[in-house]
Structure 1
């Protein structure tokens, strides 16, 4: 009896192995998509099926994610790599450089047609914009996450991942820059932001609008990306081992110079001032920012509002102060562009050109 059960178990295991092998057998008619896993909620687990907050992120490996969505193998030849296994609030400059170099290496291979990056949602928009500036290929790069862990009832990760693979395999996604695929929507990495703490429709592009939808298992595009990206940028991270220190100073009623002085004292090479309204400079803050600029720190005026164009020489005389304005970039994305800009130049006119270009 014991032998019979053992034999049955072995047959079942062999059957499973054959099934897995057949799922991953390459189909020459399909695009080859590599999934780079970095952790996040999409790879998270909760104590129960109703746990949607207080779960543990980054516990499920990439192969488990792939095996959970076998439907992906009908639209692409899928392979996976575990690049990191972290919650995205821990994403660092070093992580970004490692990820960007790996993406560029893979996309340089003729047999790789697209990349999907699984990512925690907290900093997904930042990683998307960083890659949008440094990826050197027109092939699709798609970031995807989820708002519910993999163990939750109606977890959104599987369908998000499936859509992301469909998008990365689609010829229609070529040349559109780095994309974000969430909640049956397609967004541009430059413009999208997380807008809600917990809802599955948190990723929005409120002013510019999303690029398209998924319907019937197909990506449908309705808008073009017009700002330069990927192969059209001047940024190259291939030889970089670190990025310049750029920090964000947040403004609010009764704000003083304490944060700015501390950041400059800690070695910041650039500062993003997340001002109120149209990037206004409070009376107690302006002298500290001017002093920082006099020490060689690059200052970019942005806004905590989250939407709108930051007007140059509007709420401050930027020409006189030798400041840069962030255009439509929110503070966290302005920080990314300034870091990369500082790898090329310290000239404020050149950096302002970059903010109007990318």
Structure 2
């Protein structure tokens, strides 16, 4: 009988980084050098998928990582998957894995670090120990182990740059995550920041660059200006889906404000509000939907939390 094993997928990030004499840091450690807390009888296969700062990850890079996850999940000899990932885009890649792999038969756990491997306060070893414990718990799903907690990926975002407990949820609600197999690597989905008094220059520049979809980082509960609303109407008329999120890290988005540039006006122009996903994850959801060939109604249903049962699988919101 073939012995089942853990697959560790290393991608770089702070957890794999050391500081150079000039004070800058870069990922230089492979996956095998990072494994802490293994049991004596653990059977491990390491895949060094990438070795980069996750801030540089394109949709193609994220797809490459998720493809490696899917390959491991499909192998009956694998009992769990651990992904070592930079924190800058960990919320995005982990959500893409949850969307594309679906509800896996085994645990898939992402982790990383806030402090480099050679920092006296390095949190990588502790995060790996917690992540390994999560893989041994054998609870199917895609999880993020960080700062002593194991969290679901849906609605997750990085909320601090300088503390070990780096991640939090927009809301603590349980979520239903659609299964959306596809390939996002060739798509362009842009996030457009909308500060107070925003004009439409950046939004229209994204359209001119050939964006397949847009996510608006709006104010408050998803509000902006009449000028932006007019540009959104043009985008939707041209067949480009527009999703509204917020720069506010916590709370439910409700498109209730009018006045020409409020959330209700954006909805009337054809935009879709994402109640809980902040811009990074809203971008991943929209890209996954487009890659899966979803039509406008299916995109709206998924973005707004009205995903049809046939496209979805239930997820737990917290492992421990």
Tell me the TM-score normalized by structure 1.
0.78
Match for residue 133 of structure 1 among 80, 99, 102: 99
Is residue 2:83 matched to residue 1:117? yes
Match for residue 193 of structure 1 among 157, 162, 173: 157
Match for residue 62 of structure 1 among 16, 28, 31: 31
- 1:311 Cα deviation after fit: 2.0
Is residue 2:11 matched to residue 1:38? yes
Q: What SS does the aligned partner of 2:251 have?
A: coil
User: Distance between the aligned counterparts of 2:227 and 2:265, measured in 1?
Assistant: 16
- 1:166 Cα deviation after fit: 1.8
Q: What SS does the aligned partner of 2:264 have?
A: coil
User: Distance between the aligned counterparts of 1:105 and 1:345, measured in 2?
Assistant: 22
**Counterpart residue number, 2:118:** 151
**Counterpart residue number, 1:316:** 264
For residues 268-287 of structure 1, the C-alpha deviation after alignment (integer angstroms, 9 at most, x for no partner) is 11111111111113122111
For residues 168-196 of structure 1, the C-alpha deviation after alignment (integer angstroms, 9 at most, x for no partner) is 1222x22xx31111111111111221111
Structure-2 change in CA distance of 1:283 and 1:317 (3 Å)? closer
Give runs of aligned pairs for residues 157-168 of structure 1, distance below 5 A. Answer: 157-168=124-135
**Counterpart residue number, 1:336:** 284
Bigger drift between 314-323 and 129-138 goes to 314-323
Structure-2 change in CA distance of 1:319 and 1:259 (3 Å)? closer
**Counterpart residue number, 1:274:** 217
* Structure 1: runs of 5 or more not aligned: 1-26, 209-224
User: Distance between the aligned counterparts of 1:263 and 1:123, measured in 2?
Assistant: 21
* Structure 2: runs of 5 or more not aligned: 258-262, 313-320
Q: What SS does the aligned partner of 1:143 have?
A: strand
- 1:312 Cα deviation after fit: 4.5
User: Distance between the aligned counterparts of 1:344 and 1:119, measured in 2?
Assistant: 25
Match for residue 59 of structure 2 among 85, 93, 102: 93
Is residue 2:234 matched to residue 1:287? no
Structure-2 change in CA distance of 1:161 and 1:55 (3 Å)? farther
Contact between 1:128 and 1:180, CA under 8 Å: does it hold in 2?
yes
**Counterpart residue number, 1:22:** none
**Counterpart residue number, 1:246:** 189
Q: What SS does the aligned partner of 1:57 have?
A: strand
- 1:244 Cα deviation after fit: 2.4
In our comparison, the structure showing a higher alpha carbon Rg is 1
User: Distance between the aligned counterparts of 2:228 and 2:99, measured in 1?
Assistant: 31
- 1:228 Cα deviation after fit: 2.9
**Counterpart residue number, 1:84:** 50
Q: What SS does the aligned partner of 1:165 have?
A: helix
User: Distance between the aligned counterparts of 2:194 and 2:41, measured in 1?
Assistant: 47
Higher relative contact order (CA 8 A, sep 6+): 2
- 1:154 Cα deviation after fit: 3.0
**Counterpart residue number, 2:317:** none
Q: What SS does the aligned partner of 1:113 have?
A: strand
